[in-house]
Structure 1
């Protein structure tokens, strides 16, 4: 089952261009597949223990967001003067739309403004961790994860390490 989930983001990027926007599903984790959590719809989601320990994919998403995305979208996904607050955007878009926009880019022109999201479909530093970035933003958008580096995290699973080695080469 993990293989299905591991390649989901890459496959969806190729299949969802022009996908109609839809509200994100309920983020409650109902399945744990080797340390990666999924909601009832089968989409990647976060799991935060009562003591604040985050699952490793949420932590990885924090790291990847802050190394690749925060320059435009602001610290912790709260937005900037030229890119939207992703903690808000992810609440109003489907997983498929998120994947399509990140992989293929998007240009919004209107009211004298032009906003361009470049395509990152060939950047392994983003695409190999796309689900993790989505999971992190989903946790931030729900208000379940405070700003800043998560203080505690679950250990990296062997499955995650294998996926990372395979994807990054």
Structure 2
């Protein structure tokens, strides 16, 4: 998941998959910090703090290691049900929740950084400044 280029204030791989970038001094890119904030606001209730999972829902920091980016988006947008005689797991759809969907790439890269072990638990200590490009894309999504 090597960062190759930046677009709209977010890092992407050469294959145009969102990724994170952490400097040698531990400073994270703003999108990863944004992902931490959005995950903490919207996802941690079921999936536990820092993507660690809970008795109710799986550890998403592990899920992003086995799910590709597009499957992750599909599950978040449409939800998921695994109901049978031994399980009753239901994740609601978040595709219309702007507080999730406008930041889906940020949540993904935050969980990816947690999953590969490059980002420790808790609020990241150092972050890059929010860029004008990030702000413009964020405003466009939230207002649209």
TM value normalised by structure 2: 0.95
The 5-angstrom pairing of residues 1-169 of structure 1 reads 27-110=1-84, 112-169=86-143
Give per-residue Cα distances to partners, 1:8-55, cap 9 Å, x unaligned: xxxxxxxxxxxxxxxxxxx11122235311112210000000100000
* The 10-residue stretch of structure 1 (65-74 or 105-114) with the greater mean CA deviation from structure 2: 105-114
Give per-residue Cα distances to partners, 1:93-120, cap 9 Å, x unaligned: 0110000000000001245111111000
Per the alignment, in what secondary structure is the counterpart of residue 62 of structure 2?
helix
Q: Distance in 1 between matches of 2:85 and 2:55?
A: 15
Which runs of 5 or more structure 2 residues have no equivalent in the other structure? Answer: none
Q: Distance in 1 between matches of 2:14 and 2:121?
A: 26
2:40 touches 2:50 (CA, 8 Å); kept in 1? yes
- Cα RMSD for the two superposed structures: 1.0
2:77 touches 2:95 (CA, 8 Å); kept in 1? yes
Question: Against the structure 1 CA distance between its residues 111 and 91, is the aligned structure 2 distance closer, same or farther, given a 3 Å change threshold?
Answer: farther
TM value normalised by structure 1: 0.82
